[in-house]
Amino acid sequence: MTVTETIRQRRSIRKYIHGADIPPDDLNTILEAAMTAPSACNSRPWEFIIIKSEEIKKEIINIHPFAKHLKDAATGIVICGRPDLQHGVSDGFWPQDCAAAAENILLQASGLGYGSCWCGIYPKKPLVEKFTNLLNITSIPFALITIGTPSEIPPAKGFYDETRISFR
């Protein structure tokens, strides 16, 4: 599949086949894609927490109003920001860098035939605090990506809109 095909066939999946798993090699490929994302001054201000535990999944579903589909997903990946790794020119760019890693996760998962969905955490302070406490971390929870075998493929919602383009 070409990059163009992967981008165009990617969807936000909220319905997964319960019990379907992701082989470790595929999960590693997805995480490698995340870590090859561009970042300011190559600071790589991120870390990734893999959510497999059914107990942790239930906790996340209780604290995140838009992550109910994690229940049937094979896994979740919490992308966490590490602003402490950025200094000078790169300082403050960690949200953009984590977003680039998130998009690479979505595209790599799609390219491997999995469904995924981006559930934002940062900058919603109550969600950030709840995830920080639940996962017992010092980094900043940025986003939860659910990944699994899709049980349905919704129609595309994105489209090319010429009215949003200007040339100077």
Structural domain including 68 reads: 9-151
Each of the 168 residues of the chain gets a pLDDT tens digit; together they read 899 999 999 999 999 999 999 999 999 999 999 999 999 999 999 999 999 999 999 999 999 999 999 999 999 999 999 999 999 999 999 999 999 999 999 999 999 999 999 999 999 999 999 999 999 999 999 999 999 999 999 999 989 999 999 999
Whole-angstrom distance, CA of residue 99 vs CA of residue 117: 13
Residues facing 88 on adjacent strands: none
2 assigned to some structural domain: no
Rounded CA gap, 106 and 152, in Å? 16
102 touches 145 (CB < 8 A): yes
How many whole angstroms from its chain centre is CA 114?
Answer: 13
Separation between Cα atoms, residue 95 and residue 81, nearest integer Å: 7
Q: Residue 52: which CATH number? A: 3.40.109.10
The answer to whether residue 159 sits within a structural domain is no
Q: Can you give the pLDDT at residue 10?
A: 96
Does residue 79 form part of some domain? Answer: yes
The pLDDT assigned to 1 comes to: 85
Domain count for the chain = 1
Which phi and psi angles does 48 have, rounded to 5°?
A: -130, 130
pTM for the full model?
0.97
Residue 39 inside a domain? The answer is yes
Q: How far apart are CA 119 and CA 21, in angstroms?
A: 20
Residue 38 inside a domain? The answer is yes
